[in-house]
């Protein structure tokens, strides 16, 4: 595939150029596929073609500078595409432009058309127009961008004389900007146009109010006949005529200004200026107010006056004055008196009428707005937000409900305080920043003064405390325990009392475990203390605790830390003591019992040995000894529990020394009464124990023989007496049994 440029890559402008693109495609048989050719210049498509041929030809006839660039070709067959190598074409040289004028002889400021063209070139082109005076360099007067090869523009010259016009163009290519040669110069003659108007004022350009004034405006010495003349005042056309005009008016003070007389031919204009001065017969009236600083309730006066007048023109004594409020006639003569009230506020004007010959002159004064000031009312002193936190800085507000702005507020307070604030906006309050105070009574020391040049009012601070919610910060709380920390046992109830000495309610109390830092309980009340109770405490409740207190001052205070220990319950202590002492007590009882049992056995053997070795005596002696032993046994303490304890006591009595036995025998006369007692006939004879019989038989054989029946009867009687005593001591059964055993032993 290839791209060729003929005759060559660089040619002169106007030379025919041929660009050929050819591709070689292999095919089967006689089938020729369709080729899609696309030709580009500087990567911009300029030509496309679909053909079964293997080449295309693109002609530039003639080639111009705009055709310069880098050419490329791309061929697409079905889904296959291939591009050629780019070839650069450079067309040198530009056509010299041609300049044409619609008129080469013209009047000053007259418009004409200039046409610059390069018909053989291809756009877009940029055209430049030049003006040249003799012996001077050309001056560019216009630059125009054209999409084609021709540019037409409108020009006009204000100078008088001749000059020369020319033009050129330039073209922007990718390779850079190229500029053409300049066209031939054309001479232009500019002639002067004598249409400047002449203006006159009659009788004079300085007149009095009411004078008749004539303005004459005309064009003189011009060969042209279609010239228009205008008389203009303050950009307003008063009159318009051909060649000349006359304008008449009655002079007023507002007519004092510069007027313009203008002549126009086609687009050519010439102007002349004249100033008219109109003097006032009397000056504009002035409305004044007395007093200037007016407050409601004050008397005021309005006076309408003229400061300048011409005595020859008017009679000042015949001048009339009229007063108006909001454009309504007040029907009063000068001056006007009234009292300032809200309904007297408004816009006031006055009018003055004066006559000059048959002409009546009327002039209105300026508008005077009267707004009677409102005296300042008694200021109210308040704390910003309505709440004061003792110990914190705060802001005081001073405000008067009524009063004309601006109002100056002065705050007086402790330590010779004197602060000023000025308020200029409606609804605004004076704000005073104050350092902390620590007593609510300090608020009474503040007072506020308001003034607006009409009145001074003072607001005292007495109402300040009544209208302010005062929050006193809390003191550090104290945590106490009920009961005391040293007297807490399991199962009791423990109360944690968090108390503060001072602080504004409501107060929120929160209790914490000092180790876990977790809140245990929160309480809010209007008291100076809060109570948190733990019921049925146990060992797990031991530890460190503290509380925190807060109120509206939002300053949390933490108490001291208390430590509690929970001791064991008393019944548990008693139970432990009992379990500890029972083995000891049982051991002691066992030892004591065994000791007594040993002593009992020993004494029993001793008594028996005494009875067995006793010499034979009289019946009375033996009876006395036996009786003493029986009484000793019967008087023994019956409080011992069990038969073995009672027997031990009897054995102890029998083991008394021999002296006690002898002493007991010496009391025979007293015991004889017992011996002589008749036996109870209802009682059956007491049978002797078979075990003791052989012993008694042996003793009887050694001593004096006696009957066992009598001894048994006496012992039975004695046994009944002891039974009666034992019944009185609730131990009858045990005593009877033991006496019977003793009797049997005897």
Q: Which residue has the higher pLDDT, 293 or 682?
A: 293
Query: Which letter does DSSP use for residue 175 in this model?
Result: T
Q: What are phi and psi of 708, to 5 degrees?
A: -75, -15
Instruction: Examine the pLDDT at 249 and tell me if it is beyond 80.
Output: yes
What's the CATH number where 112 sits?
2.60.40.10
**707 within a domain of the structure (yes/no):** no
User: Could you tell me if residue 81 is inside a domain?
Assistant: yes
606-639 pLDDT per residue, tens: 767 666 545 444 444 443 444 444 444 444 433 3
The residue among 76, 92, 108 that closes a domain is 92
Which H or E element spans position 270?
Answer: strand 268-279
Residue 654 inside a domain? The answer is no
In this structure, the answer to whether residues 235 and 175 fall within a common structural domain is: no
Asked if the structure places residue 522 within a domain, the reply is yes
Pair 174, 205 in one domain: no
460 and 512 together in one domain: no
Same domain, 204 and 232: yes
Q: What percent of the chain has pLDDT over 90?
A: 42
Smallest Cα–Cα separation from 146: which of 170, 175, 163, 166?
A: 170
Residue 213 to residues 169, 209, 256, 276, 278, Cα–Cα distance (Å): 59, 10, 12, 9, 10
- 726 inside domain: no
Q: Which whole number is the average pLDDT over 535-539?
A: 88
Give the model confidence (pLDDT) of 441-483 as tens digits: 888 889 999 988 766 766 665 678 888 888 998 989 999 998 8
Question: Looking at residue 487, what is its pLDDT?
Answer: 73
The answer, yes or no, to whether residue 654 has pLDDT greater than 50, is: no
The H or E element that residue 721 is part of is: helix 708-728
Which candidate, 618, 657, 627, 630, places its Cα nearest to that of 735? 630
Quote the tokens at residue 644: 């073995």
**Are residues 108 and 85 part of one domain?**
no
pLDDT in tens, 41-86: 999 999 999 998 889 999 998 899 999 999 999 999 888 899 999 9
Whether residue 487 is found in the same domain as residue 467: no
Give the end of a domain, one of 191, 209, 228: 191
| pLDDT of res. 403 | 86
pLDDT at 316: 78
Assess whether 245 and 169 both reside in one domain.
no
> What is the number of structural domains in the chain?
6
Of 534, 564, 594, which residue sits at a domain end? 564
Confidence at residue 710, expressed as pLDDT on a 0 to 100 scale: 35
Same domain for 104 and 131?
yes
Mean pLDDT of 677-682: 40
Domain membership of residue 142 (yes or no) is yes
Lowest mean pLDDT among 26-40, 122-136, 210-224: 26-40
Instruction: State whether 49 and 78 are in the same domain.
Output: yes
Radius of gyration of the chain (CA): 75
Whether residue 67 lies inside any domain: the answer is yes
Q: What is the pLDDT of residues 402-450, one digit of tens each?
A: 888 889 999 998 888 899 999 999 889 999 999 999 888 888 889 999 9
The boundaries of the domain holding residue 317 are 286-370
Asked if 428 and 388 sit in the same domain, the reply is yes
Q: Is 713 part of a structural domain of the chain? A: no
* pTM (2 d.p.): 0.41
Based on the domain organization, do 78 and 42 belong to the same domain?
yes
Chain-centroid distance of CA 718 in Å reads: 112
What is the DSSP track for 546-601?
EEEEE-TT---EE---EEE--BPPHHHHHHHHHHHHHHHHHHHHHHHHHHHHHHHH
Residues 431 and 515 in one domain: no
Dist. CA 484–CA 357, nearest whole Å: 119
pLDDT number for residue 720: 46
């Amino acid at each position: 595939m290839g791209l060729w440029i003929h005759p060559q890559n660089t040619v002169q402008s106007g030379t025919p150029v041929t660009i050929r693109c050819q591709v070689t495609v292999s095919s089967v048989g006689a089938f020729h596929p369709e080729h899609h050719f696309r030709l580009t210049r500087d990567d911009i498509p300029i030509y496309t073609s679909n053909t079964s041929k293997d080449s295309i030809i693109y002609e530039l006839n003639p080639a111009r500078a705009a055709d310069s660039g880098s050419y490329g070709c791309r061929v697409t067959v079905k889904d296959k595409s291939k591009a050629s190598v780019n070839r650069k074409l450079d067309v040198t040289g530009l056509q010299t432009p041609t300049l044409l004028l619609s008129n080469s002889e013209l009047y000053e400021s007259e418009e004409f058309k200039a046409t610059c063209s390069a018909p053989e070139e291809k756009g877009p082109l940029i055209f430049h127009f030049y003006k040249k005076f003799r012996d001077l360099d050309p001056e560019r007067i216009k630059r125009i961008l054209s999409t084609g090869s021709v540019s037409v523009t409108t020009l006009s010259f204000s100078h008088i004389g001749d000059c020369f016009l020319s033009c050129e163009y330039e073209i922007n290519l990718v390779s850079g900007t190229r500029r053409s040669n300049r066209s031939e110069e054309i001479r232009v003659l500019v002639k002067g146009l004598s249409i400047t108007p002449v203006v006159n004022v009659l009788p004079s350009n300085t007149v009095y109010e009411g004078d008749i004034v004539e303005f004459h405006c005309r064009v003189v010495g011009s060969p042209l006949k279609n010239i228009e003349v205008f008389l203009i005042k303050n950009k307003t056309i008063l009159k318009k005529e051909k060649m000349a005009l006359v304008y008449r008016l009655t002079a007023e003070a507002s007519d004092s200004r510069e007027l313009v007389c203008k002549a126009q031919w086609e687009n050519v204009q010439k102007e002349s200026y004249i100033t008219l001065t109109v003097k006032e017969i009397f000056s504009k009236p002035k409305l004044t107010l007395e007093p200037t600083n007016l407050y409601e309730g004050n008397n005021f006066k309005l006076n309408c006056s003229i400061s300048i007048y011409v005595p020859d023109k008017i009679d000042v004594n015949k001048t009339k004055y009229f007063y108006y409020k909001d454009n309504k006639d007040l029907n009063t003569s000068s001056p006007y008196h009234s009292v300032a009230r809200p309904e007297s506020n408004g816009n006031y004007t006055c009018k003055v009428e004066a006559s000059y010959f048959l002409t009546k002159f009327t002039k209105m004064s300026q508008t005077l707005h009267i707004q009677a000031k409102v005296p300042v009312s008694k200021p109210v002193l308040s704390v910003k937000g309505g709440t004061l936190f003792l110990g914190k800085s705060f802001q005081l507000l001073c405000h008067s409900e009524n009063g004309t702005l601006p109002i100056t507020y002065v705050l007086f307070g402790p330590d010779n305080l004197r602060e000023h604030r000025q308020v200029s906006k409606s609804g605004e309050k004076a704000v005073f920043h104050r350092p902390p105070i620590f007593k609510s009574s300090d608020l009474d020391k503040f007072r506020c003064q308001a003034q607006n040049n009409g009145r001074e009012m003072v607001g005292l601070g007495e109402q300040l405390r009544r209208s302010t919610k005062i929050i006193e910060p809390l003191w550090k709380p104290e945590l106490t325990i009920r009961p005391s920390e040293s007297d807490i046992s399991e199962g009791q109830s423990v109360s944690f009392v968090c108390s503060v000495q001072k602080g504004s309610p409501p107060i929120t109390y929160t209790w914490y475990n000092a180790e876990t830092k977790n809140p245990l309980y929160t309480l809010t009340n209007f008291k100076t203390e809060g109570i948190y109770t733990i019921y049925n405490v146990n060992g797990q409740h031991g530890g460190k605790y503290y509380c925190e207190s807060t109120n509206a001052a939002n300053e949390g205070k933490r108490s001291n830390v208390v430590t509690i220990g929970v001791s064991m319950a008393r019944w548990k202590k008693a139970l432990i003591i009992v379990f500890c002492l029972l083995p000891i007590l049982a051991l002691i009882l066992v030892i004591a019992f065994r000791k007594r049992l040993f002593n009992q056995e020993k004494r029993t053997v001793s008594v028996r040995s005494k009875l067995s070795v006793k010499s034979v005596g009289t019946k009375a002696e033996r009876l006395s000894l036996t009786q003493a032993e029986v009484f000793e046994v019967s008087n023994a303490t019956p409080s011992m529990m069990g038969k073995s304890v009672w027997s031990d006591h009897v054995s102890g009595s029998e083991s008394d020394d021999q002296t006690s036995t002898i002493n007991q025998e010496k009391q025979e006369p007293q015991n004889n009464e017992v011996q002589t007692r008749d036996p109870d006939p209802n009682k059956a004879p007491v049978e002797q124990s078979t075990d003791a019989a052989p012993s008694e038989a042996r003793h009887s054989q050694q001593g004096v023989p006696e009957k066992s029946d009598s001894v048994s009867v006496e012992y039975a009687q004695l046994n009944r007496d002891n039974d009666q005593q034992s019944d009185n001591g609730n131990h009858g059964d045990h005593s009877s049994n033991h006496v019977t055993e003793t009797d049997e032993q005897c």
